[in-house]
Chains A and B, each alone.
Chain A
C-alpha cells in the first residue's frame, strides 16, 4: 500500500527484528503513528507545564475567571484529529486486507493447538521435530521449519479451547478457535530461528505453550520435509517413532514416556495373559496388538471398556508400520508398569 511518507521509515529500536513480508507495512504504520502521538503529546505536556508555571496561584497575580470559548480553535482541534485518524484507519485496514487475503500457490502447514502444545504437519504428512532449548521451564520445543521467500498458509484447528498463533518477528497473529478452521498466511523473508507464542489464555501452562520457527533455504526445507516422513530401519526404533508421531503417546505410557492414561500402559504386558472387559482372558501377543490397533473396542482390557474410546487405525497404518509397533511394544516386555495400571 502506498504511504504518504517515506517508503521505509526506520522501525523503532524496541521492535523485534522483522522477518516477514508484513513487517514493512506494520512497522512503518506504527512508526508514523508514534510520531503523530509525539506531535500531539509533546505540545500537550509543554502547554500543561507552561500553564502550571505561568498561571500558578501566587501573590500579586490574578487570572481571568471568565470561561473562554473559541469556535475556530474548537473546530480546528476536532477536524485535524479526525483527518488524521481517518488516514490511520485507512492504512491499517489496507494492511489488514493484505494480511487476510491468502494468495494462490501457498505452501500449506496444518497446525493443531491443544493444551499446551503445538503440533505442525507438513504437506507431505510429515510431522514436526523438536528442538532443544534452554528456556523457561521447557527443555524441548516443537520446531516448525519453513522455506524463505515462499507464501505460507497456516491452517489452524484447536482440539480443546481457544489458543492464538503468534510469531512476533512476522507481525502475524490469528486465534485458533475450536469448532472451525482459521487461516493465516505470511511470507518469511529472513532466515533464522524465531519465537512462536500462544497469545490467547488457555489455562495452567499457557505460558509454556511456545514453539520455534526456523526459516531456511527452500532446498533445506525440502530435506526437512523428507526427513519428516522418514522412518528408521530398525523396527523397534521405527515403532517408537510411530508411537509418538501417530499420537499413541497422548494416551498410552511406554517405557518412561507418554501419558499415564486414559489408555493402558504398554509396559510389561507382552507375553502375559490379559483380562478383558468380558471376563475372558487372552494372550497379549502379535494378534492381540494388531487387533487392538485395527479394532480397539473388540477386546478392550478390563477396566478400559468405558475409557475414552480409541479410534481404529485401520487404513492409517501400513502393514509394516503395524509390525514396527508390535516390535516396539514387544521390546517393553520387561519394563515395569509406570504410573497407573
Chain B
C-alpha cells in the first residue's frame, strides 16, 4: 500500500489503537501539578502559552504603531507615547517572544522525544529556567511600563543614561539579563542532553536536523549571553559609582556600548533564526515525504552560522565613524554568513524535487518561510556592502529587511512548527482548510506590510519617526493596510488552533508521516514518552512509512 491509496475525504478511522486514554496532560491534576512539574512537555507547553501571549502583546503594539503612522502628522499618539510604544514592541518581540519562542517552547517539548528519552538531562534546571523567564518577564514588563522607557529596544547610550532614563534602563537591562540566564540554562540543558542522552544508534549524523539547529543555538546562548551580563554590570558601575565607560560626560564612549550590546544581540539574531531553519528542515522533508537533500551540508551550515554569527556584530555600526579597516573587516565577515544561509534554501528546494508534496497548513507555512526568508536574506546584501549601507542604514529598508528575516522567517517557521506538532502536543487535529486560509492571509498581509517599507527606506525614510514627510504617506498607508491583514491572518491561525481543542478530531500517532522518533510515541505522549526504548533509524528514511486508512495516520511497515 502506498500514499496513493490515502482516502482524501474524511478518514473514518478508529481511534482506539492510537489515542491513549492516559497521557501527560491527564497524568496528574491541579495547578500545582503544572507549576511544579518537571515534565519537559508540560514546561514546553507553559512556555508556548507564555511566548504566544507575549507575541499577542507585542503584536498589538505593532498595530498601534502602524495605525498611528496612517497620517504623516497628528497621529493618535503623542511623540513620546509613540516612542514608548515602539520600544515596547521591539523589546517584547525580541526578548520575550522570538528568542525563547522555538527553543524554549517547541524545543523543550520535542528534544527529549526526538532523542527517545524520558526527559532532558536536568529537569529541575529546566523548571528553574522557566521561572527565571517568568521573573525576567515580570521585571522587564514592569520596568518598561512603569517608567515609560522610550530608548528603543537597543538602549543606546548616552540617551539611555539620561537622568530620567538611567534607573529604568538598569531595571530593564537587568530584566533582560535574568531572561538571558533562563536562556543560558535552557541552552546548557540541551547541550548536555544531546551530548549524553542520544540513544544507541543515533550518531551525530543520524540526528534530526531540528536537533542540530537547537544544538547550534544552545552554543550561542551559552557563549553570548554572559556578555549581556557584563554590559549590565558596566552600566550599573557607571551609574552607581560614576566610572566613565559609556557616558561622554564622564569621558566614556557611547560607541563602546554599541559594541557590547551587539556582541550579544547579533549572535542573538542567530538564536532566533537557527531553530527556525531547523523546523523548516523537518517540515520540508516530512511533508514532501522524502529524505532531506544534502543532510550534512545543512548540519554543517548550522554550525557555520553559529560560529560566523559571533564575528559580524560591527555591521550594526557602519555609520558610527569606526576605523576604515574595522568597517571593511566587519563587512567581509558579514558576507560569510550569507553563504550557509543560501545553501540551506537550495537544499530545501532540492528536497521538494521528485517528492510527494502535501500542501497542508504546516507545509504552506514552510513554503512561505522559504519565500520570505529568501527576500530577507537577499536584501541583506546591500546592507552588508559598505557604500550602499551608508544610504540604507537606519532607514525603513533595514526595518523591512529584519522583519522579513525575523517575522517572515522565525515567526512563520514557528507557526509552521506549532501546526506541525500541534497534534502531537495536544492530541487534536486542527481544521486544515482554515489553517491553509490563515497561511495565505498571513503571507499576503506580510508582503503588503513590508514590501512598501523597502521602497520607503530606499527613498530615505528614517526609522523610528513619529511623524514624517507627506510624500511618504501613500506607502505608509499601504503598509498599515497590510499590517491589519496580517493581524487578521494571525488571529485566524490562533482561532484554528483553539477550535481544535474544542472540536478537533483526535490525532493519530503519526498524522503527517514523519520518520523521527516523536512520531513513534502516542499523541499526546504518555508521561514517560516511551514505554520501551524505541528503535533508532534514519530520521529521514521515508521508504517504509505508509498511510493507514484505519487510523488516519501513517505507520511504519515492519
Q: Is A67 touching B290 in the complex (CB atoms < 8 A)?
A: yes
Q: Which of A37, A52, A200 contacts B379 (CB 8 A)?
A: A37
A60 contacts chain B at the CB level, 8 A cutoff: yes
A258 contacts chain B at the CB level, 8 A cutoff: no
1/0 per position for A137-164, CB-CB distance to B under 8 A? 1000000000000000000000011101
Q: Is B321 touching A55 in the complex (CB atoms < 8 A)?
A: no
Q: Is B335 touching A88 in the complex (CB atoms < 8 A)?
A: yes
**Cβ–Cβ < 8 Å partners of B374 in chain A:** 40-41, 44
Q: Is A69 touching B293 in the complex (CB atoms < 8 A)?
A: yes
Given contacts A66-B543, A207-B466, contact A30 B251 (CB under 8 A): no
- Least CB separation from B460: chain A residue: A168
- Least CB separation from B151: chain A residue: A201
Q: Is A78 touching B339 in the complex (CB atoms < 8 A)?
A: yes
B390 contacts chain A at the CB level, 8 A cutoff: yes
A229 contacts chain B at the CB level, 8 A cutoff: no
Count of residues in B whose CB is under 8 Å from the partner chain? 98
Q: Is A201 touching B152 in the complex (CB atoms < 8 A)?
A: yes
B34 contacts chain A at the CB level, 8 A cutoff: no
B558 contacts chain A at the CB level, 8 A cutoff: no
Q: Is B159 touching A65 in the complex (CB atoms < 8 A)?
A: no
B-contacting 9-mer, from A92-100, A273-281, A333-341: A92-100
Interface size class of A (residues with CB under 8 A): 35 or more
Chain A 21-56 interface residues, beta-carbon cutoff 8 Å to B = 22, 25-26, 29-30, 33-34, 36-37, 40-41, 44-45, 47-48, 51-52, 55-56
Q: Which of A22, A62, A91, A199 contacts B394 (CB 8 A)?
A: A199
Q: Is A178 touching B80 in the complex (CB atoms < 8 A)?
A: no
**Cβ–Cβ < 8 Å partners of A78 in chain B:** 339, 343
Given contacts A48-B371, A179-B251, contact A62 B385 (CB under 8 A): no
Closest CB in chain A relative to B26 CB, distance in Å: 34
Chain B 423-466 interface residues, beta-carbon cutoff 8 Å to A = 455, 458-460, 462-466
**Cβ–Cβ < 8 Å partners of A93 in chain B:** 327-328, 331-332, 385-387
Q: Is A96 touching B386 in the complex (CB atoms < 8 A)?
A: yes
- Least CB separation from A44: chain B residue: B374
A-B contact pairs, 17 of them (CB 8 A): A16-B459, A16-B460, A36-B381, A47-B349, A55-B356, A55-B357, A62-B4, A67-B293, A77-B343, A77-B346, A78-B339, A96-B386, A98-B387, A162-B156, A171-B390, A206-B79, A207-B464
| Chain A residues with a Cβ under 8 A of chain B | 12, 14-16, 22, 25-26, 29-30, 33-34, 36-37, 40-41, 44-45, 47-48, 51-52, 55-57, 59-70, 73-74, 77-78, 81-82, 85-86, 88-89, 91-101, 135-137, 160-162, 164, 166, 168-169, 171-175, 177-180, 182-183, 195, 197-208, 210
Known: A51-B355, A57-B358, A179-B252. 10 other contacts (CB 8 A): A26-B388, A33-B385, A56-B357, A57-B289, A63-B288, A65-B542, A160-B158, A178-B248, A206-B466, A207-B467
A-B interface, 6 closest residue pairs, ranked by CB to CB distance from nearest: A67-B291, A168-B460, A179-B248, A92-B385, A95-B387, A96-B386
